[in-house]
């Protein structure tokens, strides 16, 4: 979702800001804008609808001088994606410019107050109300804020409800940026005589690796050489400097056509990273550094609640099977957006697991807080180091799959499932799993990356197969047991990037209504590896065939029977049934990718989607 970049230093700001915006394009946006400040204290603002390229073209023709500036990619929430709604927003006098991520919930009452003062809105956005409020306080505040930019920002942030990551500049203070955060990430890159502030490390990494993360309700006053951090209430803070671990190569295409394809193909290496150092084959144990002294507590939890959104929620569903089967502990999964408002009953000895690639999804952060409030011990399974969920959970396990830039989540999903398997095996071993069974499971987990390599080697065949069905507008995905969530994930991948309507179902549920949809040639993808549900799935396949649907089967290598029944078949290597989602998911990711390509869509920038949903 929206992206922020800000710069103060000796270099011309515009070019650097636009490059920063390009690094944030993957997050999803529909308009872009920039404001720079030059020596004669003029704010130069340029805004365009659509791609950052449009903004870059505009800047090539018009002036954006200055060595201080802010820039933004907007994903519309309040008001259509138009030029006048794009950020930066100014106050009425044109003195102050603001870029903002998040939502100002009480913008209507702020706007009403401002209208009473004779200040009319110039856009439909909530952000403009904040910019206008800061400007009003700066010029007319009367409570000590007048003429004091920092005090005006503090006071305005006090008065707003909602979430923000923001940066403010003023033509009266040409060498300053003010950055603040509540619920939407902001980090400050500390360079040599310069500061680069951004909502995501990707925009900072080529300038510096040294960063300071702002926490909620914190603010930083930045000049070329100075970083003064405080709470919004003006309590001085001393912030520590962290090092960004991400390498530039990891966020670039590196010869691939799309980030999604790069990330699908990275999965063997990514999962080796996830597992590295966490499996002790000699001892037959799991070592999870992020749990530290809490690891022994795994033996005493009486209930596990897993939560997340979208693909992360699908991983949670797989986790439910893993925890119940391997650790014999009751587990349940809930959408974070439901859990946060449902007043859930949390008993003592409950482990709340929050799954999130970004660690910033608004509903997942809120669900985490709800679990903590009700007394659960919380554990984050997160990819982005230093993200909100990573910092707020009681303990955590990082995915270590590297930055995921493609909007459709792929390697984070398999990383989440691998971490859940590690956790469930660890918990199981502390309860009833024998050393032999544990060692067997861990060996099979360790072999997964090589098995994924074998599936990826069939990518061309999977492309050809997909192209046979790509004209069809409705697909079904069926699976049972631990592969039912895989069916859901396959359907989600297809719809989000190819815009084909797809529905995932537990295979037996098909009979209770959806079977009415099946007509001649409708693609029905059935995830049917050899496990205890296999015969039942085969029966479901027969039912589809009876209605002339086309079966695309995901089957275990060597399954001749399914080859005869299915219209098309993709084989995956045999593994432990509970670990099978780690292999059965891969062909479904590839099918979605090739379907989107065949339909001519921008795979990395699907319409209406944002990489990280940081607003409700």
Active site residues per annotation: 2, 611
Give the nearer residue to ligand F6R in terms of CB position, either 268 or 308: 308
Contact 166, 101 (CB under 8 A): yes
Question: Smallest distance, Å, CB 277 to ligand F6R?
Answer: 23
* Cα dist from 498 to 106, 495, 502, 597, whole Å: 37, 6, 10, 8
From the list 36, 48, 67, 364, which residue makes contact with ligand F6R (rule: CB under 6 A)?
364
211 binds ligand F6R (CB under 6 A): no
Question: Smallest distance, Å, CB 608 to ligand F6R?
Answer: 12
208 binds ligand F6R (CB under 6 A): no
Contact 38, 44 (CB under 8 A): yes
Question: Smallest distance, Å, CB 489 to ligand F6R?
Answer: 8
345/529 Cα distance (integer angstroms): 36
Locate the DSSP E strands across 294-445.
303-308, 331-335, 350-356, 377-382, 395-398
30 binds ligand F6R (CB under 6 A): no
* Nearest C-alpha neighbor of 593 from the set 585, 603, 602: 603
Give the nearer residue to ligand F6R in terms of CB position, either 149 or 305: 305
533 binds ligand F6R (CB under 6 A): no
From the list 67, 101, 127, 311, which residue makes contact with ligand F6R (rule: CB under 6 A)?
311
From the list 95, 361, 426, 575, which residue makes contact with ligand F6R (rule: CB under 6 A)?
361
Give the nearer residue to ligand F6R in terms of CB position, either 33 or 183: 183
356 binds ligand F6R (CB under 6 A): yes
101 binds ligand F6R (CB under 6 A): no
Question: Smallest distance, Å, CB 502 to ligand F6R?
Answer: 13
612 binds ligand F6R (CB under 6 A): yes
Stretches 354-362, 441-449, 504-512, 548-556: which one binds ligand F6R (CB under 6 A)? 354-362
Question: Smallest distance, Å, CB 49 to ligand F6R?
Answer: 24
Contact 161, 209 (CB under 8 A): no
Contact 4, 23 (CB under 8 A): no
Question: Smallest distance, Å, CB 497 to ligand F6R?
Answer: 8
Which residues is 166 bridged to in the sheet? 100, 180
From the list 127, 357, 393, 438, which residue makes contact with ligand F6R (rule: CB under 6 A)?
357
Stretches 302-310, 325-333, 502-510, 566-574: which one binds ligand F6R (CB under 6 A)? 302-310
441/478 Cα distance (integer angstroms): 26
Q: Which helix (H) or strand (E) holds 31?
A: strand 31-37
Q: What's the half-sphere exposure (Cβ side, CA atoms, 13 Å) at 270?
A: 27
- Name which of residues 49 to 88 contact ligand F6R (CB under 6 A): none
Give me the residue label for tokens 């940081």: 614
Q: Which helix (H) or strand (E) holds 595?
A: helix 581-598
**Position of minimal CB gap to ligand F6R:** 310
309 binds ligand F6R (CB under 6 A): yes
Contact 265, 456 (CB under 8 A): yes
445 binds ligand F6R (CB under 6 A): no
Stretches 46-54, 176-184, 194-202, 307-315: which one binds ligand F6R (CB under 6 A)? 307-315
496 binds ligand F6R (CB under 6 A): yes
613 binds ligand F6R (CB under 6 A): yes
Task: Please give the angle made by the CA atoms of 293, 297 and 299, to the nearest 5 degrees.
Answer: 140
Contact 446, 494 (CB under 8 A): no
Q: Which helix (H) or strand (E) holds 441?
A: helix 435-456
Give the nearer residue to ligand F6R in terms of CB position, either 575 or 612: 612
Stretches 21-29, 135-143, 278-286, 308-316: which one binds ligand F6R (CB under 6 A)? 308-316
From the list 132, 358, 438, 614, which residue makes contact with ligand F6R (rule: CB under 6 A)?
358
331/481 Cα distance (integer angstroms): 14
Question: Smallest distance, Å, CB 12 to ligand F6R?
Answer: 34
502 binds ligand F6R (CB under 6 A): no
465/267 Cα distance (integer angstroms): 22
Give the nearer residue to ligand F6R in terms of CB position, either 284 or 316: 316
φ, ψ dihedrals at 80, nearest 5°: -65, 160
333/304 Cα distance (integer angstroms): 8
312 binds ligand F6R (CB under 6 A): yes
Q: 373: buried, middle or exposed (CB in 10 Å: 19+, 13-18, 0-12)?
A: exposed
Stretches 77-85, 96-104, 194-202, 357-365: which one binds ligand F6R (CB under 6 A)? 357-365
- Cα 435 from chain centre: 36
615/558 Cα distance (integer angstroms): 47
Stretches 45-53, 76-84, 353-361, 443-451: which one binds ligand F6R (CB under 6 A)? 353-361
Give the nearer residue to ligand F6R in terms of CB position, either 92 or 379: 379
Cα dihedral 560, 566, 571, 575 sign: negative
Task: Please give the angle made by the CA atoms of 292, 372 and 161, to the nearest 5 degrees.
Answer: 125
The residues, ordered by sequence, that sit 6+ positions from 149 with a Cβ below 8 Å of its Cβ are 96, 134, 138, 168, 170, 172, 173, 176, 178
Question: Smallest distance, Å, CB 485 to ligand F6R?
Answer: 13
From the list 409, 466, 498, 556, which residue makes contact with ligand F6R (rule: CB under 6 A)?
409
Total site size for ligand F6R, rule CB under 6 A = 16
Q: Which residues bind ligand F6R (CB under 6 A)?
A: 308-312, 356-358, 361, 364, 408-409, 492, 496, 612-613
């Amino acid at each position: 979702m929206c992206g922020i970049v800000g710069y103060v230093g000796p270099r011309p700001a515009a070019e650097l800001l636009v490059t920063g915006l390009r690094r944030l394009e993957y997050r999803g946006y529909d308009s872009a804008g920039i404001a720079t400040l030059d020596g004669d204290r003029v704010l130069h603002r340029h805004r365009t609808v659509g791609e950052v390229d449009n903004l870059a073209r505009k800047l090539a023709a018009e002036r954006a001088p200055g060595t201080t500036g802010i820039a933004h990619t907007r994903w519309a929430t309040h008001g259509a994606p138009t030029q006048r709604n794009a950020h930066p927003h100014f106050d009425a006098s044109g003195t102050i410019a603001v870029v903002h991520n998040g939502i100002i919930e009480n913008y209507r009452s702020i706007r009403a107050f401002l209208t009473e003062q004779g200040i009319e809105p110039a856009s439909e956005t909530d952000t403009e109300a904040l910019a206008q409020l800061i400007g009003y306080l700066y010029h007319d505040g009367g409570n000590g804020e007048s003429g004091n930019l920092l005090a005006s920002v503090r006071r305005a942030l006090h008065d707003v409800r909602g979430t923000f990551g923001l940066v403010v500049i003023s033509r009266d203070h040409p060498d300053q940026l003010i950055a603040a955060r509540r619920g939407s990430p902001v980090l400050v890159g500390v360079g040599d005589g310069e500061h680069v502030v951004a909502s995501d490390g990707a925009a900072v990494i080529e300038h510096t690796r040294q960063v300071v993360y702002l926490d909620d309700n914190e603010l930083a006053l930045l000049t070329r050489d100075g970083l003064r951090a405080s709470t919004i209430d003006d309590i001085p803070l001393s912030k520590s400097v962290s090092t960004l671990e991400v390498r530039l190569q990891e966020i670039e295409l590196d010869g691939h056509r799309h980030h999604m394809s790069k990330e699908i193909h990275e999965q063997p290496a990514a999962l080796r990273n996830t597992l590295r150092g966490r499996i002790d084959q000699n001892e037959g144990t799991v070592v999870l550094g992020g749990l530290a002294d809490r690891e022994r507590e795994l033996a005493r939890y009486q209930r596990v609640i897993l939560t997340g959104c979208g693909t992360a929620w699908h991983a949670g569903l797989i986790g439910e099977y893993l925890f119940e089967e391997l650790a014999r502990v009751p587990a349940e999964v809930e959408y974070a957006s439901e859990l946060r408002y449902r007043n859930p009953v949390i008993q003592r000895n409950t482990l709340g697991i929050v799954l999130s690639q970004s660690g910033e999804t608004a509903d997942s952060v809120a669900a985490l807080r709800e679990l903590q409030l009700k007394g659960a011990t919380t554990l984050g399974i997160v990819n982005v180091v230093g993200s909100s969920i990573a910092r707020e959970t009681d303990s955590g396990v990082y995915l270590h799959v590297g930055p995921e830039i493609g909007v459709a989540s792929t390697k984070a999903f398999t990383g989440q499932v691998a971490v859940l398997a590690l956790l469930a095996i660890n918990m199981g071993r502390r309860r009833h799993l024998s050393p032999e069974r544990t060692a067997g499971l861990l060996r099979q987990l360790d072999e997964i990356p090589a098995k994924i390599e074998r599936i990826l080697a069939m990518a061309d065949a999977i492309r050809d197969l997909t192209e046979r069905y790509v004209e069809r507008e409705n697909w079904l995905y069926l699976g049972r047991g631990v592969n039912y969530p895989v069916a859901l994930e396959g359907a989600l991948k297809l719809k989000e990037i190819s815009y084909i309507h797809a529905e995932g179902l537990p295979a037996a549920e098909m009979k209770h209504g959806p079977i009415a949809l099946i007509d001649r040639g409708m693609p029905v993808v059935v995830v049917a590896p050899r496990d205890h549900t296999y015969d039942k799935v085969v029966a479901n396949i027969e039912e589809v065939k009876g209605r002339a649907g086309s079966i695309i089967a995901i089957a275990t290598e060597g399954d001749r029977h399914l080859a005869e029944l299915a219209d098309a078949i993709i084989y995956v290597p045999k593994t432990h049934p509970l670990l099978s989602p780690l292999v059965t998911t891969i062909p479904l990711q590839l099918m979605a990718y090739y379907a989107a390509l065949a339909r001519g869509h921008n795979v990395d920038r699907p319409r209406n989607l944002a990489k990280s949903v940081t607003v409700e």
